Structure formats: C-alpha cells, structure tokens
Amino acid sequence: MQATELHQLTIHEAHELLKQRKTSSLELTKSVLKRINDVEGRVRACVTIAEDIALKEADKVDAYMRAGHEITPLTGIPALIKDVICTKGIKTTCSSKMLQNFVPPYDATVIEKLNAQKAVIVGKTNMDEFAMGSSTEHSAFFATHNPWDLSRVPGGSSGGSAVAVSTDEAIYALGSDTGGSIRQPAGFCSVVALRPTYGRVSRFGLLAFASSLDQIGPMTKDVTDCALVMNAIAGHDPRDSTSVPHPVPDYAQHLVPDIKGLKIGIPGEYLVEGMQTEVRAALERAVDKLQELGAEVDWGVSLPHTKYALAAYYIIAPSEASANLARYDGVKYGFSAGNASNVIQATERTRQFGFGPEVKRRIMLGTYALSAGYYDAYYVKAQQVRTLIKQEFDQVLQRYDALVTPTSPTVPFKLGEKLEDPMQMYLSDICTLPISIAGIPAISIPAGFADNLPIGMQIIGKPFSEGVLLRIAFAYEQATDWHSRKPPLS
Amino acid sequence: MKLSHEQVRHIAWLARLGLSEEDVEKFSLQLSNILENIEILRQVDTTGVPPATHSITLRNVFRKDDVVDSYSQTQILSNAPEQEENCFKVQPILE
C-alpha cells in the first residue's frame, strides 16, 4: 500500500484495511470530512454536511466491528448522497428553495439498504434543482465547479456527487439519472457511474421527476466499487411497483478482465455533428483498446431513430414532471409563500417563488404537451416514438453484447455558457437520452482527456445486462490508467 | 409553433404557476424555440405504433395486504408550513 491518505481510497481498498483492523470507520470518516473542509470552498459539491451524524454512526460501526461481527463491503465506509434521495433526519432539498427545510420522516429504500450494510452517510450533494439540468448551475443554492477546471461545469444533474467522488470528498456517492444525470457528470469529472436497467433499483424515496425514466445508480472511483454498490442497492421493493422481481446477481463475479469474443457495436448516429474531434479521437482509441483486448468490434451499427430521442424526451420527461411536481402546493411540506387571499393564489405564489427557472420551464412545457388539443400531437406521438426507439435498441442488441459511444459530445463546458439557452443545454445530453428512453442500462467510465479535461465512454447493454457492462468496463480499466488520474486540486 | 403571451398565461394557469410579466415574455420565446425543435417528431411515421408508457412490461403488480407500521401524525405534520389541531392548514376553499 502506498502512502495514500484515507479519503483517497476506493471502497474495496478501505474495506481491506477495515477487515485487517488497520484503520477504523471513524478514521475514514474524519479523513473524508477533512477533505471536504479543504476543497469544498473551491468546488462546492455539498448542500448538507452531516458531520455529527456521520461521526456518531462511524463510532457505532467501529464498536460493532470490534465486537467481532462480520462486515460487508460497504460497512463503515463514508458516502455522499445526491440531495434528491430521502434521508431520514437529514435535510433533503433537491437543491430547491421549495424544499430548503424539508427533513424526510423516512429513508429511501436505497438508504435503508446502505444502512443495512452499516454504511456511513456523510452528507448530501448539490444538483440541478429537482434533477432538471445538465450542469448543476440550476441549483437554487450555488453552482458546483468542475475540479479539472474550476471555470467549467461538472455536468448534471448529479454534478455534486460526481465532483465529490472525483475530489475524494467521499469514498463513493449515489446519483440519479433521468436523461443522463449520472452518466454525463461522471464523464465530465472522470469517475465511474452506472445507470441501471429501469426497475433494477427501487425508486421509493427518490423524489420523483419523471417516474418512467428515473433510476438511482452508483458513482464510484473504479469499476469494482461500482459492482459493490450495485450489489447493495439493486433488487425488488414492494414499495415501488415498477421495481422488477428478478434475482440480483453478484455483480462482483462479473469483474473478470476477459472480453474475448464479445461483440461490440458503435452506432454511427452517436458520432454526431458538433462532436469535438478530441472526443471522437478518444472514443476511437478506446474502441481500439477493446479490440486489442479481444472484443469483436463493428463500426457499422445504425440506430436511425436516435435523432428523434431528444424531442421525445423533452415531451415525455416534462409531461411527467408537470404531474409529479403538482404536489408542491405549500400545504403538506416545503416552502409556502403566504400572503394570499385564496387557496389558488396561495398555490400560484408558492410555486412562483419556490421553483427556479428551469423547473418552471419544464412544468410549462409538460403542461402544454398534456393540455387539451395537444395531447395526441405531442404526448402520444412522443410515446409512439419511444416504442420505436426501444424496438430499435432491442433488435440491434440481439446482435451485439454491448454498444459503445462517447458519454457526451464535448468536454465540460464553461460555467454560464449554456445557462440562457435551454436548447443548447439539452443538447449536451444527446448521447445519453436515448438509453433512458429505452430503459436499458449504461455505464460511463473514464476514457481519456483533451487538454486535461475528462472524456467519458458510455457502454450500453440489454436490459439487466449490468454484469456484462461491468465486465467490459473492468477489462478496459485494467488495461488503462485514466481512472487513477486525479484532478489538480491540492 | 409560436406561443403567444396569452397561451403562456393559460398554461401557467393550468399549472397553478404564478409568472411575472418578464417570465411570460421569456417563456413565450424559449418554449417556442423548444417546441420548434420538437417538431422533428412529425417526420416519424407512427401509424399503428403503440405508445410506450414504460420501458418495461409489468402487468398487474400485486402484493399481500399485510399490515405494516405507518408514520405518526406528528411525523407527517413535521414539515407542514402551517398546522392546526393536528391538521394541515389551508386557505378557505368556500367563500
């Protein structure tokens, strides 16, 4: 073991030290808290730091371990959680003024599952308000900065979680992905992140944005950690009727660095106009590496409906959001504007002053698409196109074990660059949206740099093929060293 | 598709979303621009294609009607902006 500081460890490294009694959960947690203290002023990844709760929990876990109990891979390991996932007794704000003081009376299922492994939750990470955005600039509180270049965005909406993992403010984090919100920031910050198959991980306690698209997933320092977190959070939950009752495999078993004979396709539609040449070059090098490792690569794959995914997404997701966010009326929880003469005015004022501009934009767009006279032309049409996109993926994935694309068409952009132009912001998710629409899994892993700015590779698979994606990602990671590079933050 | 100020106000009313005059102006332009980009969907022939409501096909999800603990009134009311006599407090609905 090198003279590494504790917060720099991966889950599996920290777990080994805990098992050998070479460190304690308290030491790990203190190291992470110190790291947060050192870098947070520059990157601003966290909305809430639950220092007291974390130290107390770490202490309890240490006592549990001293008592000789068996420990699991996440026991005693400090994590940060995207602030869209309910944590009992710890504020859950969705980075919105609407929920600035909301303290959930319950834990999300994924938090219960982490708690069952005696994980230590250190705090909550910044995000685009209600997970709507691609840069974390739409947080109602503050923007998060990309540690690779502080003048650039970390991506979004799980920007805080991506930055926290990249800067060692946590050993790992959870994010959520609706149209790319786990994968795009992972690519922008050079970390590993998996969007599971829709239904693989329970959404209970995940504040709803677009229910048919939302999924929670791991954001980690390497592929092994990603498998370990998946082992902890995947599985059926009676409280989420869209969670799937398939048995959960041991994802760690898929971590074999052998991809000989696997068929990997590269869909031409993802090498889009406007894609940076450096990103394309990095993808080509990464694909060459996969081929070198024994994969059978085909550059001739076509998914012709790809170009309609953005339009379909920006009907479906806002429509569901407009319905889901109807609950924020200033009565049951959250912000209330007050000073109204009747109940309708009270609701209007609460929503006017509680929601930020991007959330309002999407509520408006969704309400319009669902309103009388436009429902068939927009909502039903988008859902039909969704069927076609899904069918196209199903057909192509019969012939390939996985598809590979860049995670984003560009390297991280400048803060403020796309803030006033929603369409340009939406286009930064062009490579991730179709996968969400089809409900299939995809992992983003570090695949290179252009002028010290990260480039991510997205590996896409059949429903419930997370194991195959982890295997390909693991083989690539073993053969490269992108994942071990750290941002230039002292 | 160009959204007029009047249409923007109507949508905001449906969504119970208060908007400033500045917002109405801004959304009229931005939403029109977004909808223009969404027009591309018209190019797709969707004759006979069933709409997908979900990406997975789960039907008739049942569970046992077991009695489990729920939350106390205090817990549920703990985040309410205003409460009175163990109830959420709202503005009068009937004049």
Read off the tokens for A202. Answer: 């329970």
Long-range contacts of B63-68 (CB under 8 A, 24+ apart): B63/A238
List of chain A residues whose C-beta atoms are within 8 Å of the C-beta of residue B35: 365, 368
What would the mean pLDDT of B22-48 be, rounded to a whole number? 95
Dihedral sign, Cα of residue A267, residue A268, residue A273, residue A278 = positive
Dihedral sign, Cα of residue A302, residue A426, residue A324, residue B21 = negative
Q: Which pLDDT tens digit goes with each residue over A143-195?
A: 999 999 999 999 999 999 999 999 999 999 999 999 999 999 999 999 999 99
Which of B44, B62, B77 should we substitute to test contact with A (largest number of A Cβ atoms within 10 Å)? B44
A386:B79 CB<8 A:
no
Q: How confident is the model at residue A309 (pLDDT cuts 50, 70, 90)?
A: very high
For B37, the closest of A363, A380, A423 (CB atoms) is: A423
Name which residue leads in pLDDT, B68 or A405: A405
**Catalytic residue flag (residue A30):** no
List of chain A residues whose C-beta atoms are within 8 Å of the C-beta of residue B89: 331
Q: How much is the pLDDT for B53?
A: 79
* Alpha helices for A256-308 (secondary structure H): 277-292
H-helix or E-strand containing A395? helix A381-399
For B56, the closest of A103, A238, A244 (CB atoms) is: A244
Q: From B53, which residue of chain A is nearest by alpha-carbon distance?
A: A383
For residue A267, the SS3 value is strand
For B90, the closest of A311, A331, A334 (CB atoms) is: A331
Number of CB pairs < 8 Å for A and B?
169
Task: Indicate whether A93 pLDDT > 80.
Answer: yes
Do the Cβ atoms of A462 and A440 come closer than 8 Å?
yes
Q: Which of A459, A458, A450, A453 is nearest to A406 (CA)?
A: A458
**Catalytic residue flag (residue A181):** yes
- Rounded to a whole number of angstroms, the distance from the CA of A321 to the nearest CA of chain B is 11
Q: How much is the pLDDT for B1?
A: 67
A199:B58 CB<8 A:
yes
**Single-letter amino acid code for the residue at B22:** E
- Residue A87 φ/ψ, nearest 5 degrees: -125, 115
- Residues B2 and B25: their CA atoms lie apart, in Å, by 12
Q: How much is the pLDDT for A1?
A: 39
Which of A177, A246, A331, A339 should we substitute to test contact with B (largest number of B Cβ atoms within 10 Å)? A331
A106:B52 CB<8 A:
no
**A6-262+474-484: CATH topology:** Amidase signature (AS) enzymes (3.90.1300)
Task: Indicate whether A388 pLDDT > 50.
Answer: yes
Do the Cβ atoms of A243 and A276 come closer than 8 Å?
no
Task: Indicate whether B95 pLDDT > 80.
Answer: no
Number of neighbouring beta carbons within 10 Å of residue A195: 34
Task: Indicate whether A206 pLDDT > 60.
Answer: yes
List of chain B residues whose C-beta atoms are within 8 Å of the C-beta of residue A312: 41
- Rounded to a whole number of angstroms, the distance from the CA of A43 to the nearest CA of chain B is 30
Which of A367, A423, A435 should we substitute to test contact with B (largest number of B Cβ atoms within 10 Å)? A367
Tell me the C-alpha to C-alpha distance, in Å, between residue A399 and each of A264, A298, B34: 9, 11, 35
Q: From A423, which residue of chain B is nearest by alpha-carbon distance?
A: B34
Chain mean position to CA A343: 37
- Rounded to a whole number of angstroms, the distance from the CA of B17 to the nearest CA of chain A is 5
Which residues partner with A79 through β-bridges? A121, A172
Q: How much is the pLDDT for B63?
A: 82
Task: Indicate whether A353 pLDDT > 80.
Answer: yes
For residue A192, the SS3 value is strand
Q: How much is the pLDDT for A344?
A: 92
Chain mean position to CA B61: 24
List of chain B residues whose C-beta atoms are within 8 Å of the C-beta of residue A349: 18
Q: What is the arrangement of strands in the sheet containing A296-301, beginning at the earlier edge strand?
A: A46-49, A120-125, A78-82, A172-177, A215-220, A192-195, A442-450, A453-460, A402-406, A263-267, A296-301
List of chain A residues whose C-beta atoms are within 8 Å of the C-beta of residue B31: 361, 364-365, 368
List of chain A residues whose C-beta atoms are within 8 Å of the C-beta of residue B40: 307-308, 311
List of chain B residues whose C-beta atoms are within 8 Å of the C-beta of residue A340: 91
- Residues A256 and A470: their CA atoms lie apart, in Å, by 9
Chain mean position to CA A392: 25
Number of neighbouring beta carbons within 10 Å of residue B64: 5
Read off the tokens for A55. Answer: 């130290």
- Residues A87 and A49: their CA atoms lie apart, in Å, by 13
- Residues A186 and A164: their CA atoms lie apart, in Å, by 11
**Catalytic residue flag (residue A332):** no
Give contacts of B 19-78 with A, CB under 8 A: 19-20, 23, 27, 30-31, 33-35, 37-44, 46, 49-56, 58, 61, 63, 71, 75-76, 78
Which of A126-140, A211-225, B50-64 is least confident? B50-64
CB within 8 Å of A111: residues ≥ 6 apart: A81, A85, A86, A87, A88, A121, A205
Q: What is the value of ipTM here, to two decimals?
A: 0.95
Do the Cβ atoms of A265 and A301 come closer than 8 Å?
yes
Q: How much is the pLDDT for B92?
A: 82
B58:A102 CB<8 A:
no
Out of A157, A243, A408, A444, which one is annotated catalytic?
Answer: A157
Q: Which pLDDT tens digit goes with each residue over A248-258?
A: 999 999 999 99
Out of A24, A30, A31, A82, which one is annotated catalytic?
Answer: A82
List of chain B residues whose C-beta atoms are within 8 Å of the C-beta of residue A310: 37
Read off the tokens for A226. Answer: 């990603």
Give me the torsion for CA of A479, A31, A205, A440, rounded to 10°.
-10
Q: Which pLDDT tens digit goes with each residue over B39-89?
A: 999 999 999 999 997 777 777 888 888 998 889 999 999 999 999 999 999
A244:B3 CB<8 A:
no
A342:B91 CB<8 A:
yes
B49:A367 CB<8 A:
no
Task: Indicate whether B2 pLDDT > 90.
Answer: no
Token pair 């869909």 in the structure block, residue? A267
Q: How much is the pLDDT for B94?
A: 77
List of chain A residues whose C-beta atoms are within 8 Å of the C-beta of residue B58: 199, 241-242, 244
B79:A241 CB<8 A:
no
For B54, the closest of A242, A314, A440 (CB atoms) is: A242
Architecture of the domain made up of B5-40: Orthogonal Bundle (1.10)
Task: Indicate whether A2 pLDDT > 80.
Answer: no
Planar angle of CA A295, A467, A459, nearest 5 degrees:
55
Helix axes B21-38, A357-370, angle to 10 degrees: 60
